[in-house]
Amino acid sequence: MKRGYLGEFEEIVLLTVAVMEGGAYGVAITHEICEQTGRAVRLNQVHAALERLEDKGMLKSEMGEPTAERGGRRKRLFTTTAYGRRTLQEIQEVRESFWAKLLNPFRPATSL
Amino acid sequence: MKPPPHADRLLQLFCAPHRLEEVQGDLHEEFAHQLRRVGKQKAQWWYWWGVLGFLKPFAIKRKPSGYSTTNQMNATMISNYFKIARRNLIRNKAFSGLNIAGLALGMACSLLIMLWVQDERSVDGFHANGNRLYQVYERSSYDGKVEAGYMTQGLLADELKRVIPEIEYASGYEGNHLYRSTFEVGEKINKVEGTYAGADFFRMFSYPLVQGTPETALNTPIGVAISRKVAEQFFGNPEKAIGKAIRYENREDLIVTAVFENVPANSSQQFDFLRSWNAYVKENQWVTNWSNTSPHTLVQLRPTADPARVEAKIKDFIYRYKQKDQGSLVELALQSYPEKYLHSTFKNGQIDGGRIEYVRLFSFVAVFILLIACINFMNLATARSTKRAKEVGVRKVVGAVRTALMGQFLGEALLLTFCSILIAVALVAVLLPAFNSLTGKQLFLPFGQPVFWASLLGLLTLTGFVAGSYPALFMSSLSPIRVLKGSLKFSGGATFFRKSLVVFQFSLSIILIVGMIVMYRQMQFVQTKNLGYDRENLVYIPIEGDLVQKYNLFKEEASRMPGIRAVSRMRNSPTVNDHGVSDIGWSGKDPNLWVSFSDELVGFDFVKTMNLKLKEGRDFSREFGADTVSYSGFLLNETALKKIGYQHPIGQPLWWGGRQGTIIGIVKDFHFNSMHEAIQPLVIRLDEKKPYGTILVRTEAGKTREALAGLEKISKELNPNFPFTYQFSDQEYAKLYKSEQVVSQLANSFAVLAIFISCLGLFGLAAFTAEQRTKEIGVRKALGASVASVVTLLSQDFLKLVLIAILIASPLSWYAMTRWLDGFAYKIDIGWWVFALAGFLAIAIALLTVSFQSIKAALVNPVKSLKSE
């Protein structure tokens, strides 16, 4: 089967999970995305994306430890699967090949 | 610091359990984070916002359990439900028939009443400015009484509009009686009913004009607005009518200034022509005196006006134009015009009911009859539940849950109700013409309106659920073990419930029977009561056209005709006299006393023609020359004499509006208004000069036909431009009680219907009981019981119930009928025998119904009923 397609938001969530290396759960991911991209992301959107990614087999999850802040409830911790990582890599490679073919790479507009 | 608990509860409600922990945990953690960042208020808002964000399918969807559940709602089961329902219906044809017939009758009756109520409520609802239209009424206090009515001063409308800025438009309307006026165009002569209205009338009320404009329709004294019907009658079509001349009462030529669409049946104002208010004022000089009242006054407020404030403003309006009298007080008040039709009765000066009482009464009757029909259904279904108990048991054993069984039985009830409603609609379609002629309405089944279908659907579900709920609850509660072991015994509760339903049914029926008897007797009483004058063989002829001048000639010639005994005249008619006068004086009158007298203007031989009984004194007669002088002699009735208090009244002085005359006679009290009102003090004087009024002709019994032929001949000679019209006194009198007659007849039909439906139920129950006790009866008979004793045995259970119903219904019906009779000043007493009769009827009907079944059961040969065991 060809690799599953990823939406832009799903890709970012997947990347974030990979970056956070084992410490990835709903709120933490949301905060990380907010900081890194400056977007206003809502918790339910992240949960929905995680759900879809898990369905696609790019993420796996297990229940973590409870904290007092969470009222004694456990976190669901996400880690990327090999399939997920390979997908990210393929996306990156496709992009890089396109960038390499760009004859006239954009330069940052320092002055006009 | 905890997040808002309501939001948490909401989350717990909708979020899938396997997801709740992480989601809630995340939300709580985020809440703690936001609390540090933006403070409590915002964090709480944020939390709500966050929770609502999870109202998405992915969070709500439950995890599949992996086990299959019994699906009660798949296609096979549904078709099975239908199959079982059909088989049950067909197997018990008699019971199904009883059920469907009862429900269909009940629903047909409710549908009819619904249509009628709907129509009553729609009256006067079509005016676009309805919420700003008000009718002025006058409240007057005098003589220790407060009375109110719609009769107002003739110039009130114009003055209100001129003085009160909140009043946008105002119009007088002569609404007490319609004028049957003669119109003439070329060769065509016809009588048309209509009245007078103010210049703003068509601007206020939504009677669309075919020709002419609302502004010019009624603003000249020679103008007349006619209906499309009249325009077509005289001119062929409305376009040809406008601007044409039309001869009015062979007296003046009017110009058609407007043609309006025929007034719809659901308008309380009915007219085929309208003349302008200027003409009314010109023809009725008395309107300039603000003590006189007659026409109605209608106003339209500006959109911004507050009716309560306007009402307060006009309260004392009358005293701008007249002096305050000692001992009397007149106030103006407003009533919303669209509400007037249903609320037009006054009590102690306040609006108190009216037709709305009948609307309510019949709505109750509709609900009751439907309830009786539903009770039949419940009774039969639960009584027969032994038959289906096994089915319930088996279904439960193979996995039916209670809700599924309830659904099944409710569904069966709905199916039956559906069959019934089809029959009910067909019944209504058949009965509507008869119902219309009885109620004088033009009702129809509005198949084109979605509202009608919606209400049918509502009726269907309501009836289905009410009728089906108890059987469904009861049947689905049966325990499968007991049912299948065959030891099903009804608890005392179920039997008690069934018995109380029968009692309830019969109580309602008895109440209706009592209502029927009392209404019938009161109507008989009213129709046959000695009125004090002889209303048989009395003919009225209107004084119009040349008869105004030639009345004496008419009288002379008519008196010579065969079959005519006496001729006289009066201003009003003997059946209704709404005229009153307050300034009657006598010697020794307390100057502060303010008494209102009814007054009447009559011709010579009045007492003789009316067949009144003279207590003292004499009739007006030509033999006494002094009588011809106006205000010289007065006749009083006994009630008036009591007010005045003269010991020897004949020859004593009396002042009418400051003019002195003497009392020439005292007549015994007679009814000159309907029985709803007590006899008022009446003062009569002679006046043969009035340009309108009624000629009274007393004919000889059995010679009415010759007399009428003669009268027509004289009328044609003396008054050639007017068609000869006449009315019979007894018929006019009967018209006074038209609405009571209708109600009485409706009550009859509904009572019969209610009893019939109750009997259907009783019949079914009796049949069922007899069937259940077949073995018992067989054993009894084998041991020597007689047929009579078996019949008694089977009947007495039901008789007890009917007796209890009589005990409950009697006081209730007594109260209800006493209230109804309160509307009459002259009424019958409700004797104890009425209840006895109603009870006897109920028992007899119940016995008849039950005995058919019990005799059948008692006659069965015991060999037959016992051999099967």
Q: Comparing C-alpha atoms, which of A19, A90, A83 is closest to residue A54?
A: A83
Q: Which residue of A has its CA nearest to B46?
A: A42
In this complex, the residue of A51, A69, A71 whose CB is nearest that of residue B58 is A51
CB contact under 8 Å between A43 and B59, yes or no, is no
Q: Which residue of A has its CA nearest to B32?
A: A69
pLDDT of res. B271: 92
Mean pLDDT value of segment A30-44: 90
Given a contact cutoff of 8 angstroms between Cβ atoms, the answer to whether B365 and B455 are in contact is: no
pLDDT of res. B73: 64
CA dihedral B641, B647, B649, B650 (to 10 degrees): 150
In this complex, the residue of A45, A47, A67 whose CB is nearest that of residue B23 is A47
Q: Please give, rounded to a whole number of angstroms, the shortest distance from the CA of A32 to a CA of chain B.
A: 13
Q: Comparing C-alpha atoms, which of B162, B230, B219, B168 is closest to residue B194?
A: B230
Q: Which residue of B has its CA nearest to A49?
A: B58
Q: What percent of chain B has pLDDT over 70?
A: 97
CB contact under 8 Å between A69 and B23, yes or no, is no
- Residues on chain B bordering chain A, Cβ-to-Cβ distance under 8 angstroms: 21-30, 32-33, 50, 53-54, 56, 58-59
CA dihedral B741, B743, B748, B751 (to 10 degrees): -170
**Chosen from A47, A59, A77 to mutate, greatest number of chain B CBs within 10 A:** A47
Per-residue b or e along B734-754, where b marks 16 or more CB atoms closer than 10 Å to that residue's CB: bebbeebbebbbbbbbbbebb
Given a contact cutoff of 8 angstroms between Cβ atoms, the answer to whether A61 and A39 are in contact is: no
Q: Comparing C-alpha atoms, which of B316, B285, B286, B356 is closest to residue B138?
A: B316
Query: What CA–CA distance (Å, rounded) separates B104 from B98?
Result: 10
Q: Which of B269-283, B345-359, B837-851 has the lowest mean pLDDT?
A: B345-359
Q: Please give, rounded to a whole number of angstroms, the shortest distance from the CA of B368 to a CA of chain A.
A: 55
Q: Show residues of chain A in contact with B56, CB under 8 Å.
A: 44, 48
CB contact under 8 Å between B26 and A25, yes or no, is yes
Q: Which pair of tokens denotes residue B555?
A: 């009288």
Q: Which residue of A has its CA nearest to B30?
A: A27
pLDDT of res. B65: 66
Q: Which residue of B has its CA nearest to A72?
A: B25
Given a contact cutoff of 8 angstroms between Cβ atoms, the answer to whether B81 and B397 are in contact is: no
Q: Indicate the pTM of the whole model.
A: 0.70
Query: What CA–CA distance (Å, rounded) separates B488 from B477?
Result: 12
Scan residues 14-73 of A and list those with Cβ closer than 8 Å to B.
25-27, 30-31, 42-45, 47-48, 51, 63, 66-67, 69-71, 73
Residue B846: alpha-carbon gap to chain centroid:
31
In this complex, the residue of A26, A48, A69 whose CB is nearest that of residue B22 is A26
Cα atoms in the 13 Å half-sphere on the side-chain side of B824: 20
**Chosen from A32, A34, A43 to mutate, greatest number of chain B CBs within 10 A:** A43
Query: What CA–CA distance (Å, rounded) separates B701 from B716?
Result: 24
Between CA A13 and CA A19, with CA A17 as vertex, the angle to 5 degrees is 115
Q: Which residue of B has its CA nearest to A43?
A: B50
CB contact under 8 Å between A47 and B58, yes or no, is yes
Please determine, for residue B85, whether its predicted confidence score (pLDDT) is greater than 80: yes
CB contact under 8 Å between B56 and A51, yes or no, is no
Query: What CA–CA distance (Å, rounded) separates B734 from B456?
Result: 38
Percent of chain A that is helix, strand, coil (3-state, to 5): 55, 15, 35
Instruction: List B566's β-bridge partners, or say none.
Output: B698
pLDDT of res. B93: 85
CB contact under 8 Å between B26 and A66, yes or no, is no
Q: What is the maximal distance between C-alpha atoms in chain B?
A: 116
pLDDT of B102-160, one tens digit each?
Answer: 889 999 988 988 898 989 888 998 999 889 999 999 888 876 678 788 888 888 999 99
pLDDT of res. B298: 93
Q: Whole-number mean pLDDT of chain B?
A: 85
Q: Please give, rounded to a whole number of angstroms, the shortest distance from the CA of B493 to a CA of chain A.
A: 51
Q: Show residues of chain B in contact with A27, CB under 8 Å.
A: 26, 29-30, 33
Place B450 in a pLDDT band, splitting at 50, 70 and 90: confident
The structural domains of chain B, with segments of one domain joined by +, span 5-60, 130-341, 357-525+738-867, 538-732
In this complex, the residue of B25, B54, B59 whose CB is nearest that of residue A71 is B25
Q: Please give, rounded to a whole number of angstroms, the shortest distance from the CA of B31 to a CA of chain A.
A: 9
DSSP state of B101: H
Query: What CA–CA distance (Å, rounded) separates B824 from B820?
Result: 8
**Chosen from B18, B22, B47, B60 to mutate, greatest number of chain A CBs within 10 A:** B22
CB contact under 8 Å between A48 and B58, yes or no, is yes
Query: What CA–CA distance (Å, rounded) separates B778 from B281?
Result: 89
Query: What CA–CA distance (Å, rounded) separates A87 from B95?
Result: 73
Residue B713: alpha-carbon gap to chain centroid:
43
The structural domains of chain A, with segments of one domain joined by +, span 8-100
Given a contact cutoff of 8 angstroms between Cβ atoms, the answer to whether B276 and B219 are in contact is: yes
pLDDT of B673-724, one tens digit each?
Answer: 878 778 888 888 888 887 778 888 998 888 888 888 888 888 888 888 777 8
pLDDT of A59-98, one tens digit each?
Answer: 999 988 888 888 888 889 999 999 999 999 999 999 999 9
pLDDT of res. B490: 63
Q: Show residues of chain B in contact with A47, CB under 8 Å.
A: 23, 26, 54, 58-59
Which residues, 6+ apart, have CB-to-CB distance to B23 below 8 Å? A26, A47, B11, B15, B54, B59
- In 3-state terms, what secondary structure has residue A88? helix
Q: What is the DSSP string of B610-656?
A: HTPPEEEE----TTSGGGGSTTSEEEEEHHHHHHH--SS-TT-EEEE
Please determine, for residue A110, whether its predicted confidence score (pLDDT) is greater than 70: no
Q: Show residues of chain B in contact with A51, CB under 8 Å.
A: 58
Given a contact cutoff of 8 angstroms between Cβ atoms, the answer to whether B834 and B519 are in contact is: no
Q: Which residue of B has its CA nearest to A25?
A: B26
- In 3-state terms, what secondary structure has residue A50? helix
Q: Which residue of A has its CA nearest to B22?
A: A75
- Cα separations in angstroms, B674 against B355, B527, B551, B635, B693: 17, 11, 29, 21, 20
CB contact under 8 Å between B28 and A75, yes or no, is no
Q: What is the enclosing helix (H) or strand (E) of B820?
A: helix B787-821
DSSP state of A24: B
pLDDT of res. A1: 38
> What single-letter amino acid sits at B526?
V
- Cα separations in angstroms, B269 against B151, B194, B207, B775, B804: 15, 10, 11, 69, 49
Given a contact cutoff of 8 angstroms between Cβ atoms, the answer to whether B581 and B683 are in contact is: yes
Q: Which pair of tokens denotes residue B570?
A: 């009066």
CB contact under 8 Å between B33 and A27, yes or no, is yes
**Chosen from B21, B33, B52, B63 to mutate, greatest number of chain A CBs within 10 A:** B21
Name residue, tokens 């009827």.
B841
Place B72 in a pLDDT band, splitting at 50, 70 and 90: low
Q: Please give, rounded to a whole number of angstroms, the shortest distance from the CA of B71 to a CA of chain A.
A: 29
Given a contact cutoff of 8 angstroms between Cβ atoms, the answer to whether B564 and B697 are in contact is: yes
Query: What CA–CA distance (Å, rounded) separates A23 from B228?
Result: 88
Mean pLDDT value of segment B725-737: 83
Given a contact cutoff of 8 angstroms between Cβ atoms, the answer to whether B581 and B599 are in contact is: yes
How many CB atoms neighbour CB A85 within 10 A?
Answer: 13
DSSP state of B268: S
- In 3-state terms, what secondary structure has residue B2? coil
pLDDT of res. B535: 82
Please determine, for residue B363, whether its predicted confidence score (pLDDT) is greater than 60: yes
Given a contact cutoff of 8 angstroms between Cβ atoms, the answer to whether A15 and A88 are in contact is: yes
DSSP state of B824: -
Q: Comparing C-alpha atoms, which of B178, B177, B171, B176 is closest to residue B134?
A: B171
Q: Please give, rounded to a whole number of angstroms, the shortest distance from the CA of B32 to a CA of chain A.
A: 7
Given a contact cutoff of 8 angstroms between Cβ atoms, the answer to whether B48 and B7 are in contact is: yes
Place A14 in a pLDDT band, splitting at 50, 70 and 90: very high
For helices A8-20 and A26-37, angle between their N-to-C axes, nearest 10 degrees:
110
Which fold does the domain A8-100 belong to in CATH?
Answer: Arc Repressor Mutant, subunit A (1.10.10)
Query: What CA–CA distance (Å, rounded) separates B352 from B330?
Result: 19
pLDDT of B373-423, one tens digit each?
Answer: 888 888 877 777 777 888 888 888 888 888 888 888 888 889 889 999 999
Report how many Cβ contacts below 8 Å link chain A to chain B.
Answer: 61
CB contact under 8 Å between A42 and B53, yes or no, is yes
Query: What CA–CA distance (Å, rounded) separates B742 from B436?
Result: 11
Q: Show residues of chain A in contact with B54, CB under 8 Å.
A: 43-44, 47
CB contact under 8 Å between A73 and B28, yes or no, is yes
Query: What CA–CA distance (Å, rounded) separates B258 from B273?
Result: 10
Query: What CA–CA distance (Å, rounded) separates B439 from B741?
Result: 10
Instruction: List A59's β-bridge partners, or say none.
Output: A80
CB contact under 8 Å between B21 and A30, yes or no, is no
> What single-letter amino acid sits at B404?
A
Q: What is the enclosing helix (H) or strand (E) of B329?
A: strand B328-336
Please determine, for residue A15, whether its predicted confidence score (pLDDT) is greater than 50: yes
Q: Please give, rounded to a whole number of angstroms, the shortest distance from the CA of B360 to a CA of chain A.
A: 56
CB contact under 8 Å between A42 and B50, yes or no, is yes
Mean pLDDT value of segment B165-171: 92
CB contact under 8 Å between A27 and B26, yes or no, is yes
Given a contact cutoff of 8 angstroms between Cβ atoms, the answer to whether A19 and A32 are in contact is: yes
Phi, psi dihedral angles at B273 (to 5 degrees): -145, 155
Mean pLDDT value of segment B494-518: 85
CB contact under 8 Å between B26 and A47, yes or no, is yes
